[in-house]
Amino acid sequence: MPPSLIRNDKPENTMMRCCPLCVEPTTAPYHRDRRRDYYQCATCKLVFVPPEQHLSAAAEKAEYDKHQNSPHDTGYRRFLGRLFTPLLAKLEPNARGLDFGSGPGPTLSVMFAEQGHSMAIYDLFYAPDASVLTQIYDFITATEVVEHLAQPGKVLTQLAAQLSPGGYLGLMTKRVTSPEAFARWHYISDPTHISFFSEETFRWWAQKNSLVVEFPGPDTVILHKTLT
């Protein structure tokens, strides 16, 4: 289900523990399992896997190649509907959008196009036309994307800059709730998942970037770039 994305260069010093979202150096161990370590930032509360434990690009793509998503899959459409429905209700007619990290079977872009909204797509492995990352959009979606980002701060800042005033950034990712729940969480068993957001993290990032944030559901986030 998760798409592939912009792969960011890892820090030269792979033992650095700076937060990949806010780049603050104050981080602490959060959890450890048989495969990986997880740290939490004291500033923005992002939980992340250190760079030296990330998959290679080839291994990452091999994981994504296993996914069989398709716009003809009604179950997948229902899943995406958790973001599609509340975001669609906010859009003006003929809005222009970008689906970032669209994956091997772009579907959300098809759903918005069916409602009259023109869509561009970007995916590092499957739709790598970087020219779409230099344009401005009325809305941008990234479903099951941010948990794969090695440098989420860099990518999210880039996407926010691509929004027109009044635009929306719609995200879908499961959220961290507590250390106890994290230890039992199926989400961390995916080796491509390396950045884990909580509601507190999204609120911090929204305030830092002058965006209004709302949570339509337990795994959806909509950020609004206001006109003022």
For 73-134, the DSSP string reads -HHHHHHHHHHHHHHHTTPPTT-EEEEES--SS--HHHHHHHTT-EEEEEBTTTB--GGGGG
What is the per-residue pLDDT for 68? 83
> What's the CA gap between 67 and 171, in Å, rounded?
20
Q: What is the C-alpha end-to-end distance of the chain, expressed in Å?
A: 36
pLDDT in tens, the chain (228 residues): 444 444 444 443 434 589 999 999 999 999 999 999 999 999 999 999 999 999 999 999 999 999 888 899 999 999 999 999 999 999 999 999 999 999 999 999 999 999 999 999 999 999 999 999 999 999 999 999 999 999 999 999 999 999 999 999 999 999 999 999 999 999 999 999 999 999 999 999 999 999 999 999 999 999 999 986
**Domains of the chain and any CATH numbers:** 3-7+27-225 (3.40.50.150)
For residues 135 and 162, the answer to whether their CB atoms sit within 8 Å is yes
What is the per-residue pLDDT for 16? 57
Give the other-Cβ count within 10 Å of 212's Cβ.
12
What is the per-residue pLDDT for 11? 42
For residues 55 and 186, the answer to whether their CB atoms sit within 8 Å is no
Q: Which residues pair with 191 in a beta bridge?
A: none
What is the per-residue pLDDT for 69? 87
- Tell me the CA distances in angstroms from 221 to 109, 128, 139, 141, 195, one per residue in order: 18, 25, 13, 10, 16
For residues 46 and 22, the answer to whether their CB atoms sit within 8 Å is yes
Q: Helix (H, G, I), strand (E, B), or coil: what is residue 211?
A: coil
- Backbone dihedral region of 147: left (phi > 0), alpha (psi from -120 to 50 degrees) or beta? alpha
